[in-house]
Amino acid sequence: MLTALDKKLLQETAGLEEDPPGAYNIRKDGEGIQRHSLPGIEIVPKKDKPGIDIIVEKDRTGTVHIPVILTQSDLSDLVYNTIEIGPGADIELVAGCGIHNPGHGEARHDGVHEIFVREGARLRYTEKHYGEGEGKGKRILNPKTVLVVEPGGYAEMELVQIRGVDDTVRETEARIEAGGHLVIYERMLTHGEQTARSDVVVNLLGEGSAARIVSRSVGQGNSRQVFQPRLVAYGPGRGHVECDSIIMDKAVIRSIPEIWAESAEAELVHEAAIGKIAGEQMMKLMALGLTEGEAEEAIIKGFLK
């Protein structure tokens, strides 16, 4: 039975206000508590380690929700998920983790997702992180995603962390084969004493392979961020890396985009910018009747949208 707190965390991380549509697996405090498969979309617990296997058959369409919630202090949860999107399938996969830490010990979730987007398949993947809790214990999330996109496949990843998570290290590794495409949108806000690091490595392996990495972040308070996206072309691939950040207060932001070509036919571009909120933007909004704080929040919300 889901509590009111459970439902709040599920709404924040997966947009769920009732039972998930489609196939789903809900994990709470280190245990799977609800699971539902569909014909052609099977979710099976792993036998050798904590986690699940998701097998999507050829040409299948649908949605899959796999949220994780933590509601205890002094808890460390580690999970391994393997996701197979069959040839020609079209799937929306909603992951993410919500932590409510009521005590003074750590509440931590480490997740490893291994995803295969087979030939001609399409995947839209969303992973949201959220933290709260009245205790002083840290809320820690360390996700790792290993992705393979086969010829003609397409994957779109939206990676979101807005407030509440004290420490995070996100690792994303992708291999894009000939004719495959990948788009990554990353959005993050840190404040207080929070720290966040995102390491992305995308390998373009064949003709017609392409990738775009777009990062938007806001650093407030004394928080610290490091972004290191790397785009590597081993053949005639195309790619673009874009990192934009707003820095405020005494925050520290490092942006280290890298492009690396091992083919004369590769086309790679990167750009990065870090700056403060423009004064004219604040003045325009305040002239419309917003307070300084309201204007600031409106600008941040629009930037991270």
Task: Name the strand (E) or helix (H) holding 185.
Answer: strand 181-190
Among 238, 117, 89, 127, residue whose Cα is nearest residue 174: 117
Among 124, 148, 147, 118, residue whose Cα is nearest residue 58: 118
The identity of residue 272, as a single letter, is: A
pLDDT at res. 20? 85
Whole-angstrom CA distances from 118 to 79, 147, 179 are 23, 11, 12
* Separation between Cα atoms, residue 122 and residue 88, nearest integer Å: 7
- Chain Cα centroid distance, residue 35: 22
Among 275, 245, 244, 238, residue whose Cα is nearest residue 259: 238
Inter-residue contact 89 to 57 (CB < 8 Å):
yes
Inter-residue contact 119 to 154 (CB < 8 Å):
no
Mean pLDDT of 82-94: 98
pLDDT tens for 152-178 read 999 999 999 978 999 999 999 999 999
Inter-residue contact 264 to 294 (CB < 8 Å):
no
pTM here is 0.95
pLDDT tens for 206-248 read 899 999 999 999 999 999 999 999 999 999 999 999 999 999 9
Nearest 5°: the CA angle 69, 75, 77 is 60
pLDDT tens for 178-190 read 999 999 999 999 9
Among 81, 92, 71, residue whose Cα is nearest residue 143: 81
Percent pLDDT > 90 in the chain is: 91
More confident position, 21 or 79? 79
